[in-house]
Chain A
């Protein structure tokens, strides 16, 4: 059991709370930097996908996990970022500039979606974002002069200061740098007044408002930041896939992103990346297990949907804190051995009251 004796506020908001943090995150960083030299091509590609989904997940985590506004149309922001990046890169723009544009455009779209969020909440907001997602997807399919419509759009390799990055290791490095910057940015944001305001809104809008937090401003900001991160992830996604079509950004993609944050653990930064690992590893595990199952189950086309659904149900029922919550429990158990008590992480039941009484 580690006790930290805090003597100043500086110490309370420090990013690395103790030496253990520095050591373990440093080790993780080293492993990630060494990955292109140690891993075969295929696994490196999977790791790149984890980083990309992790960035998108960070965005949704900020919105759903920290501000309490949930979005069923996040794939639309991913799509806006991806198409912006594709069009600008094909027009010969340098990579960082195109990605900045993708983020800004996605953020401005996010502000537009955030507008209904000022008037509606809960399920209404979910439906507004859902509707928006459908409209954007249809827009990608119909605006053929720019997006190539359903025929798709191919994306050139990213170009950086005149030299084009077409090796997978180079692209991995870009993703890694972006992911690290995004994570540090979000962690920093969350210990700043803005992040505190987000959390206050999540916990109770009424008390946040009475503490002087401008709900409209912070909710819109949260949507914008979340969409910007999704846009950045979309930009990387476009380069990774090298081919875009509107159906990559449909409702199922939005639900996948939601699945990512719930399974990773709502309200934790780690959760975004743990969820991304889950989302990428799951299809692999399923296809591995196909050889072990009888053909009637293993070869059936619906297997993946059943497994996803069952895992989602299991997490909501038995581990609402997600993968990160599970890790937290295991760590606490080890730290406190043998004094861990079962009820330590139990949440108080909040009896539901009407949302209609605003």
Chain B
């Protein structure tokens, strides 16, 4: 019973990792770059939700919608202002650029007097509700996380699989120049992808906020979502969720059964083993380039 309880809490935590990893995978799948600012975008989303609820006095649903919309706008803007000028330069530049964006976002939030250095709780309607299922205790917060993650993942998967937009995004990621020649508006697509990824980050932030707290350093959880994305195979949306689940469950089990200290690094040990054994991840595509 305890085992199942641990697994369930691992799944809920894993869904958070999966949600953040979705953002990585979205950007990677469509632009073949990696955003190290995803965790910070999540933090901004949570703060926006907090601002909407406690300062502007919005009802819950409006605050959620508003912060998601604001974040996606922010994502598009970010792409336009800083990412687009270096389109066509080595991937390394974008990594450094997003690290810089993360620094600025974290610092800027910390600089807001009275708010930035505190930890806050997000007043959500389902806070502290608990369902008892036999001997299992399911908290509503965790169930909401699991449900939203499943829906979001299915939606994004369908978009990449069946819509023109999704297929165009995949084409642009595989070869930008060829995609240009085929008449795909690569620049506009990149903007859209960043908007989508920022929206996904905002959702992750809003879901995570009731479980932990809202504070300026919550973005560091993004560093644990990297292993999730890698375990699942960087270019695969369902893989991100599965990877997140694997990481979450391993972490929760190792926190209980292994000596202290293993919980924090379990994710990284899993990812190192994964990279040694199967670098393409569980769902990664195997493609070969002919020279």
Interface on A for B, CB 8 Å cutoff? 64, 70, 115-116, 119-120, 122-124, 126-128, 130-132, 134-135, 138, 141-142, 206, 251, 255, 258-259, 262, 266, 296-297, 300-313, 316-317, 320, 347, 349-358
Shortest C-beta distance, A300 to chain B (Å), equals 4
Q: Is the CB of A302 within 8 A of B110?
A: yes
Interface on B for A, CB 8 Å cutoff? 28, 31-34, 82, 85-93, 95-97, 99-111, 113, 116-117, 173-177, 180, 216, 223, 226-227, 230, 234-235, 260-261, 264-265, 267-269, 271-272, 275-276, 279, 284-285, 287-289, 291
Chain A residues within an 8 Å CB radius of B90: 350
Chain B CB within 10 A, most for which of A119, A206, A305 = A305
B contact patch SS = helix
Selected contact of B234 from candidates A123, A134, A305, A317, CB within 8 Å: A123
Chain B residues within an 8 Å CB radius of A127: 226-227, 230, 271, 275
Shortest C-beta distance, B249 to chain A (Å), equals 18
Shortest C-beta distance, B236 to chain A (Å), equals 11
Chain B residues within an 8 Å CB radius of A266: 92
Distance A307 CA – B279 CA, assembled complex (angstroms): 37
Q: Is the CB of B113 within 8 A of A317?
A: no
A-B residue pair count with CB separations less than 8 angstroms: 180
Chain B residues within an 8 Å CB radius of A353: 174-177
Q: Is the CB of A301 within 8 A of B89?
A: no
Chain B residues within an 8 Å CB radius of A354: 32, 173-175, 287
Shortest Cβ distance from A133 into B: residue: B268
Other than A135-B265, A206-B291, A306-B104, give 18 A-B pairs with Cβ distance below 8 A.
A64-B92, A124-B234, A134-B223, A259-B96, A259-B99, A297-B111, A300-B110, A301-B117, A302-B110, A305-B107, A306-B108, A312-B99, A351-B88, A351-B177, A353-B175, A357-B289, A358-B287, A358-B289
Distance A183 CA – B18 CA, assembled complex (angstroms): 44
Q: Is the CB of B103 within 8 A of A308?
A: yes
Chain A residues within an 8 Å CB radius of B177: 351, 353
Chain A residues within an 8 Å CB radius of B269: 131, 135
Chain A residues within an 8 Å CB radius of B101: 309, 313
Shortest C-beta distance, A294 to chain B (Å), equals 12
25 A–B pairs (Cβ distance < 8 Å), ordered by A: A116-B279, A126-B95, A127-B275, A128-B272, A131-B267, A131-B271, A134-B264, A266-B92, A297-B111, A300-B111, A302-B108, A302-B109, A305-B103, A306-B108, A309-B105, A310-B104, A311-B100, A313-B101, A316-B86, A347-B89, A352-B31, A353-B175, A354-B32, A355-B32, A358-B288
Distance A23 CA – B193 CA, assembled complex (angstroms): 54
Shortest C-beta distance, A220 to chain B (Å), equals 14
Distance A347 CA – B267 CA, assembled complex (angstroms): 39
Chain A residues within an 8 Å CB radius of B87: 349, 352
